Structure 1
Amino acid sequence: MKFELETAIPILERTPTVLRALLQDLPEKWIRENEGEDTWSPFDVVGHLIHGEKTDWMIRTALILEKGSNPTFEPFDRFAQFENSKGKTVESLLDEFEGLRKDNLTELKSRNLTSVDYGRTGIHPEFGEVTLAQLLSAWVVHDLGHIAQISRTMAKQYKNEVGPWTKYLTILNYTPKE
């Protein structure tokens, strides 16, 4: 599917609602458990998404649109949530994420992007030249990937409890690379 903002926005708009439906009012064990060493809990993922809302997607979009030819992006700290989320509850993180996402999508829609804008480029510190369409597509896929990650992490909490059904519950057989 070719990138179109009109089809991307509904996914980006739904992510806070999906996360709230999955995580709100759950016992802490569901929220704080991970898949093992060097993996993230659902709590960590929400913190990571918040950091992205503050420092990644719209910051880079603005750079591409406002700074002229091939501005260079600041590196993104993929682990900032561990410090930034200290002392917070998952409910406060969900509220913060929802507010940030709403504001970012309002700003994105207000830019009235054109096909010319989607072809504009910036310089990613690892990937080199990327287009605005690639950045915005990555935002959608990033959300979906983390929703899947949260679901997988939660499912794995019962990996040893499902007995022989492990054979058919493929979500339990995935090994994270993070």
Structure 2
Amino acid sequence: MDEFLANIRSVLITTPARWLSLAQTLPSELLERKPEPGEWSAVECLSHLIDTDRVFNFRIQCFLTGEDFPAFNPNVEGSPVSARSIQDLAAEFSTLRTTSLKSLETLSAADLDRRARHAELGPVTLRQMLNEWAAHDLMHTVQAERALMQPLIDEAGPWQRYFLDHWVERPGVNHRREK
């Protein structure tokens, strides 16, 4: 496998295991907690990753067949957060990602320069989209972990200052910001 593709795969393969671990270990109340109104909880981040895994897999096929593809607006086209358990969602994500990784394994270094037209962004290469996919995975994992951190930071007392870059200010929470 091409080194670039191996690096992308190495990022993408870690995400399902992380979610399975979170789902099996953390209480659902923490996973469902939004850091603040209008921001996603960890469960909402996982639901979005399920939606986008389907989108990225579809886009790979578009590049291979020379088709253009539409933009994806998660606020319009995303699935509503399911009443299913976080464990079921994590298992679904793991299954979807296994399928997506199989699609990734069919690619060659020559495929990376294939072009398609994204409805919003214009011409893009498969290499660019694969970079975006891996970065997207990491971004939403960080976002989920930031949501999980909030109640811990709120009660960290003088250590709160070490988390200022990650702390969401919310009404009714004492933000001592101790130095």
- TM-score tier (shorter): 0.7 to 0.9
Determine helix, strand or coil for the equivalent of 2:74. coil
Query: Secondary structure of 2:108's partner?
Result: coil
TM-score, scaled to structure 1: 0.85
Match of 2:36 in 1: 36
Task: Determine which structure has more spread, i.e. the larger CA radius of gyration.
Answer: 2
TM-score (structure 2 length as normaliser): 0.84
Q: For 1:146, what is the secondary structure of its paired residue?
A: helix
1:73 paired with 2:69, answer yes
**Hey, what's the Cα distance between the residues in 2 that align with 1:163 and 1:174?**
15
Residue in 2 aligned with 1:131?
125
Letter aligned with residue 160 of structure 1: D
5 Å-filtered alignment, 1:150-169, equals 150-169=144-163
Amino acid at match of 1:139: W
Decide whether the 8 Å contact of 2:56 with 2:133 is kept in 1: yes
After superposition, the C-alpha distances for 1:66-87 in whole angstroms (9 at most, x for unaligned) are 12xxx3312213134552x322
Q: Which moved more, 1:95-104 or 1:27-36?
A: 27-36
Question: CA separation in 1, counterparts of 2:123 and 2:164?
Answer: 36
**1:153 shift after superposition:** 0.7
Percent of pairs identical after alignment? 28
| Match for residue 108 of structure 2 among 105, 113, 120 | 113
The one-letter amino acid of 2:36's match is: G
CA RMSD of aligned residues (A): 1.9
Q: Does 1:5 align with 2:5?
A: yes
* Shift of residue 174, structure 1, vs aligned partner: 6.2
Instruction: Find out whether 1:64 has 2:63 as its counterpart.
Output: yes
Flag structure 1 segments of 5+ consecutive residues without an equivalent.
none
Q: How many residues align?
A: 166
Say if 1:32 and 1:42, in contact at 8 Å, map to a contact too: yes
Structure 2, unpaired ranges of 5+: 170-179
Alignment of 1:83-98 (within 5 A): 83=80, 85-98=81-94
- For residues 127 and 39 of structure 2, the distance between their equivalents in structure 1, rounded to whole angstroms, comes to 29
- Could you tell me whether the CA contact under 8 Å between 1:16 and 1:94 is conserved in 2? yes
